[in-house]
């Protein structure tokens, strides 16, 4: 649901102030401790951040895609780990349920997801199924009014905190690819489900990814999401929205980095003058600003198309591809503009440089986005 202009501005202003006054001062602490303080999580719940995309009837804010992207830009102005705390509730961890869930499933889970009482996670990736997401090996075998799940998932965001997993599992081994995959809502408390230790990562300390193992986990048949064999369809539609959300966060990080570069270049003096006077430095700032503006235009236009009911699989892939590659280049230029100061931890530039690297990998790697863009363009005839 699109917000009226006044309400939208109030929401964006609230998020902007929360990011600048509450989150940015904690960035170094979160990175050092690899944890977001519990009181900050509670404040996020109070602001409604866990329910941005959940329908109002279930306690969420029910933002349109455009409004969600505008909020995403603001959230991108701080360490991405903060957004990750509730990002799965807003995106891939909840949207399969929103789009394909029965009324009973929605009533059972969505109010808790919107409030942050239930943390969600999306379990698709496996040791042999990353970019090849149709190659899911986790099995779900029907046994009366249950399915028995066996297998393992890798690099699952928020798995160590999740209460509810959307799990992709193969129900029909005779069908190759995505046709034999189904989606299930799997509660953390079910016997046989275990979660590994958080992985050590290049960046985004405070956001955790873990293995999830299913050992004869009995899932009620009523927790299947959609029809048997529709799991890949669920995953792909969820990813369309998720890719736009990630695009908006990339834009926010880029805008933060550009602002930091401008402030530093204006103050830092070499050869008797501010380095912002040097045309080669200006060139890096100009390139960064131009690319950020282009990413924002593409992302917002695609969000509006999605809100209008148009298919945006190609456009969402293009936005995510361009925005995630763009923020990597902006971060690299920021290190260059800051020089030695950009390489040490004091300024936080090297941290953001590491943080943004994952954006080119999750929600589909850049190479997968290229495949999607090319496939959809060929389908459309240009």
- Judge whether 42 counts as a catalytic residue: no
- Tokens representing 181? 């995959």
Strands (E), 196-265: 209-220, 224-225
Burial tier of 156 (Cβ tally within 10 Å: 0-12, 13-18, 19+): buried
Cα distances from 370 to residues 111, 170, 247, 315, 321, in angstroms, run 37, 26, 15, 11, 7
Angstrom distance (rounded) from CA 190 to CA 167: 13
Contact 198, 208 (CB under 8 A): yes
- Tokens representing 3? 């917000």
| 170 backbone dihedrals φ, ψ, rounded to 5° | -85, 120
Angstrom distance (rounded) from CA 339 to CA 8: 38
Contact 239, 364 (CB under 8 A): yes
Angstrom distance (rounded) from CA 28 to CA 250: 20
Residue 227: HSE in the Cβ half-sphere, 13 Å Cα cutoff: 4
Q: For the chain, what's the residue count?
A: 382
From 9, 42, 363, 376, the catalytic residue: 363
In our burial notation (b when 16+ CB lie closer than 10 A, e otherwise), range 333-353 reads bbbebbeeebeeeebbbbbbb
Angstrom distance (rounded) from CA 251 to CA 69: 10
Active site residues: 363
């Amino acid at each position: 649901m699109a917000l009226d202009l006044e309400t939208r501005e109030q929401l964006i202003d609230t998020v902007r102030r929360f990011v600048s006054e509450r989150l940015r001062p904690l960035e170094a602490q979160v990175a050092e401790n690899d944890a977001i303080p519990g009181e900050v999580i509670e404040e996020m719940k109070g602001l409604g951040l866990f329910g941005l995309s959940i329908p109002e009837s279930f306690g969420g804010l029910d933002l349109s895609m455009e409004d969600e992207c505008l909020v995403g830009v603001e959230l991108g102005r701080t360490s991405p780990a903060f957004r990750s705390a509730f990002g799965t509730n807003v995106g891939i961890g909840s949207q399969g349920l929103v789009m394909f869930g029965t009324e009973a499933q929605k009533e059972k889970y969505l109010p808790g997801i919107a409030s942050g009482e239930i943390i969600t996670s999306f379990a698709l990736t496996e040791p042999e199924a990353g970019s090849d997401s149709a190659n899911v090996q986790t099995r779900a075998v029907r046994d009366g009014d249950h399915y028995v799940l066996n297998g393992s998932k890798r690099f699952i965001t928020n798995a160590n905190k999740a209460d509810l997993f959307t799990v992709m599992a193969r129900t029909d081994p005779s069908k190759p690819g995505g046709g034999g995959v189904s989606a299930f809502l799997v509660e953390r408390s079910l016997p046989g489900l275990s979660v590994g230790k958080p992985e050590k990562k290049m960046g985004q300390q405070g956001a955790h990814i873990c293995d999830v193992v299913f050992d004869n986990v009995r899932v009620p048949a009523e927790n299947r999401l959609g029809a048997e064999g529709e799991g890949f369809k669920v995953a792909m539609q969820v990813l369309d929205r998720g890719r736009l959300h990630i695009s908006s966060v990339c834009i926010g990080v880029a805008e933060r980095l550009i602002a930091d570069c401008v402030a530093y270049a204006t103050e830092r003096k070499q050869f008797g003058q501010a380095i912002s006077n040097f045309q080669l430095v200006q060139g890096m700032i100009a390139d960064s600003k131009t690319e950020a503006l282009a990413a924002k235009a593409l992302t917002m236009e695609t969000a509006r198309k999605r809100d209008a009911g148009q298919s945006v699989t190609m456009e969402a892939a293009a936005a995510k591809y361009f925005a995630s590659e763009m923020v990597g280049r902006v971060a690299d230029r920021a290190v260059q503009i800051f020089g030695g100061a950009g390489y040490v931890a004091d300024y936080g530039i090297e941290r953001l440089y590491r943080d943004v690297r994952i954006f080119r990998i999750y929600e589909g790697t850049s190479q997968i986005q290229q495949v999607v863009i090319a496939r959809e363009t060929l389908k459309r005839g240009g």
